[in-house]
Amino acid sequence: MDNLLVYWNEPQGEWDRTYVGKFDHPPTDDAPPKYVTFEPDRGGWNNIRMSMETVLVFAYATNRILVMPPKKPFYLVGKEGSKSYDDFFHFNDPELKKHITIISMNEYLQTEGGGEKEDSTSIR
């Protein structure tokens, strides 16, 4: 089996290291910011993790600011206390911050919605 096709290998050849994709260009300074919001999966931990990884890749690929949802307890995770994405992902990692801007829902509402709002994501 040829290991050159295994996705976790180092890039093979110089062209891989210098390739610039169509999503690798930051937006211009005069462009308004674009955001991506999401609702956390109500499934178990693996679904929660996969949805977070997917939205991180989407935010990076589309040059959008990732807006984190309001904190809610995860299903079947941390029965002793509420867990959040911060407990599992390293959002303060300097390498991640070079590529993705992550803000809270309150920061988003203050910037784009005219002030801090009450969480209105629950269904009444």
pLDDT digits (tens, 9 = 90+) for 33-62: 899 998 877 777 888 888 889 999 899 888
Can you say whether the dihedral through the CA atoms of 64, 65, 69, 71 is positive or negative? Answer: positive
Q: Average pLDDT over the chain, rounded to whole?
A: 75
Q: Are 79 and 43 in contact (CB under 8 A)?
A: no
Q: Which amino acid is at 110?
A: Q
Amino acid (1-letter code) at residue 84: S
**The pTM of the whole model exceeds 0.75:** no
Pairwise CA distance, residues 27 & 31, whole Å:
6
Q: Are 39 and 88 in contact (CB under 8 A)?
A: no
pLDDT over 60 (residue 115)? no
* Phi, psi angles (nearest 5°) of residue 102: -120, 130
Q: CA 120, CA 109: separation in Å to the nearest integer?
A: 11
The CA distance from 55 to 27, in Å, is: 19
> What is the distance between the alpha carbons of residues 69 and 39, in angstroms, rounded to a whole number?
6
Between these two residues, 31 and 62, which has the higher pLDDT value?
A: 62
- Classified as helix, coil or strand, 12 is coil
